[in-house]
A and B are shown apart, each in its own frame.
Chain A
Amino acid sequence: MAGVEVRNIYKSFGPVEVIHGIDVEIADKELVVLVGPSGCGKSTLLRMIAGLEDITAGEISIGDTVVNRVAAKDRNIAMVFQSYALYPHMTVYRNMSFGLRMRKIPKDEQDRRIRWAAEVLELTDYLKRYPRQLSGGQRQRVAMGRALVREPIAFLFDEPLSNLDAQLRVQMRTEIRELHQRLQTTMIYVTHDQVEAMTLADRIVVMRDGYIEQVGAPGHVYDRPANTFVAGFIGSPQMNLLPGTLGPDGTIALEGGVTVRHTESLAAEAGRNVLYGIRPEDLQLVGEGEGIAFGVDVVETTGREIELFGTLGARRVCVLLQARAEVRPGETVWINPDPERAHVFDAESGVRLDAAGQG
């Protein structure tokens, strides 16, 4: 059991620098999710922690040991790959025992661990099969089992669920969370799926273009995104971001002549160009004339929720309604943004204009 510390890490492939000095501290027994769009450097960072990529500059420690010069095979970590990377010429049993054989674990101990992992992952009936004889979900479980039996000091997951269908993905997500609670081992999980990140993580690390944009608990990142990138990336449907000008007394004059309120303490900044952010679920339907007029163009129903797309002031906006409502395209409804839930970002830098947001 050990934490992982990443200190001022750089990575270049030839002349191209892809990670530009990153610091992350992952506590013992913590489940941290690295999330970001493809090409943001999250997989590269994970592979550096695993020892599969060289570190250009900086330091990575696992436990109390700096592992920069420790080979992957000696780091005692386990990894689950996106492609599963099962050894095709070995049975499920041999796949799981490979890491144990490499570490010269006694035969009966190998067998005990494999039986246990197979039990946990419901693979007992498949131990004699080859990977090609298994379904995608089963292969995924074998990949997990191979990591599990190792009893490593940390688990690394590189988009392990991307090749599964939607239903199986949700199921496996829960199982990974359960597994973490049961094993109490450090886990680092890479995904581009923000829903996966939100549901799994103790803490989320949002990355973009080789930089860390924000680190925090899922709720915190959701409620107080550090900048417009995080605001837009985390949450589905996306947060609405509307350009406007900061006025006195907690008001913002949006493009198109609409004025909204916020509760951030930014009175001194009056006159500044800002982006006003409001999540679709923080816009409530109100009675006619009580709020802001909103012309509905498209209505999408998911069964549980209704998404309304339309124009507010001069911009396209999404409104998410939890309750059933009879709204038709072409209608005008009245909505009220919750000032407590409003976010204000600098128009140029995109940075949140409330110092507390960085916490």
Chain B
Amino acid sequence: MTATRVRKFDGGTWLADAPVGLWTLARWAGTAAVVLFFIFPMIFMLMVSFKTQPDIASGGLIPEEWFWQNYPDAWNSVAVGTYLRNSIVAATLGALVTLVIAVPATHAIVRYRVGGKFLPAFILATYVAPPIVALFPLFFLLRSIGLVNTLFGMALVYGVMNLPVAFWLLSSFVRRLPEELEDAARIDGAGYGSVLLRITVPLLMPGIISTGIICLILAYNEFLLASFLTRSESTQTLPVGLSLYQGDRQLRYGQMSVASLIGIVPVYLLAMFFQRWLIRGLTAGSTR
């Protein structure tokens, strides 16, 4: 049976119109259901941002009346802009710190087996410990170098915090790089640094960017360490800012939703912008 006709995409080019069968329709329906499941909290939050406080308390998805006032109120009662800027700065710097350390480290561990079998296992093991364990040591370490309550201090903490994740993500990319490319570069006269910078890093770029984005998002979403290590409006990040919508007597859910939606925008833009870049296979045509 052919319900309708659509153009099919084979990953590279559009093929001619192809008939759509029942199976394809079922797959679309399935995909739609999964997408809806994941997007529903977002929709719910969007709806809450248009509700009055009593309307929120009464439940239901669609607002009884569309209450726009949450938007200016959210912006005026808490310094959303500053928090957003702080988050972006701390997370971006943090991701850069992670990459600068993780790329050469992962390359050395995977390619030259630095640290044998112990080091990779140890790196991952550190990630298993709950972050709260690190809270006091980090606080005292930061204080001793005068970086408590600074964005740079937060960037440093995030940079180190995400190293295990970055190592774990990058190692699979490094393993997939043909070793012979590095051998060829060494024979062509490149030392370790040149091989890394001229061959490995350019070819790892898709992996480096996706790892960077993931680390950035992890740092961007981090609440616990930020709430403890920063104290002033000029350094607090958005997750900490969101917690400030809790007033003396009530939680301002509507405004909180507004601020949350604003906070999501940069992450979504980032993911959308790099999506196409990430799937481009850079290594095509290098070997065989």
Contact partner, A136, options B188, B189, B203, B288, Cβ 8 Å:
B288
How many chain B residues sit at the interface, stated as a range, is 20 to 34
B286 touches A99 (CB 8 A): no
Say which residue of B187, B202, B287 sits within 8 Å of A89 (CB atoms): B202
* Chain A nearest CB, measured from B180 CB (Å): 4
A-contacting residues, B237-253, CB 8 Å:
none
* With known contacts A86-B287, A88-B283, A133-B285, A98–B185 Cβ distance under 8 A: yes
The stretch among A75-83, A108-116, A207-215 that forms the contact with chain B is A75-83
Q: Which residues of chain A are within 8 angstroms of B285 by Cβ–Cβ distance? A: 86, 88, 130-134, 139
Complex contact A83–B203 (CB within 8 A): no
Task: Give 1 or 0 for each of A66-84: 1 = CB within 8 Å of chain B CB.
Answer: 0000011111011101111
A87, B288: Cβ atoms closer than 8 Å: no
Encode A83-95 as 1/0 by CB contact (under 8 A) with B.
1111111000000
Is A102 among interface residues, defined by CB-CB distance under 8 A?
A: yes
The one of B186, B189, B286 that contacts A86, using a Cβ cutoff of 8 Å: B286
Q: Which positions 147-167 of chain A face chain B at CB distance < 8 Å?
A: 150, 163
- B184 sits at the interface (CB 8 A): yes
In whole angstroms, what is the CA distance A82 to B189 when docked? 19
Q: Give the docked Cα–Cα distance between A82 and B179 (Å).
A: 12
B185 vs chain A, min Cβ distance (A): 7
Cβ of A50 under 8 Å from chain B: yes
Q: Is residue A177 within 8 Å, beta carbon to beta carbon, of the partner chain?
A: no
Closest to B202 in A: A89
Residue ranges of A at the interface with B (Cβ–Cβ < 8 Å):
47, 50-52, 71-75, 77-79, 81-89, 98-99, 102-103, 130-134, 136, 139, 146, 150, 163
Interchain residue pairs with CB less than 8 A apart (19): A50-B183, A51-B186, A71-B191, A72-B187, A73-B188, A77-B187, A78-B188, A81-B183, A81-B184, A83-B180, A84-B286, A85-B286, A85-B287, A87-B181, A88-B181, A89-B203, A102-B188, A103-B189, A139-B285
Using a CB–CB cutoff of 8 Å, the interface residues on chain B facing chain A are: 178, 180-181, 183-191, 194, 198-199, 202-203, 282-288
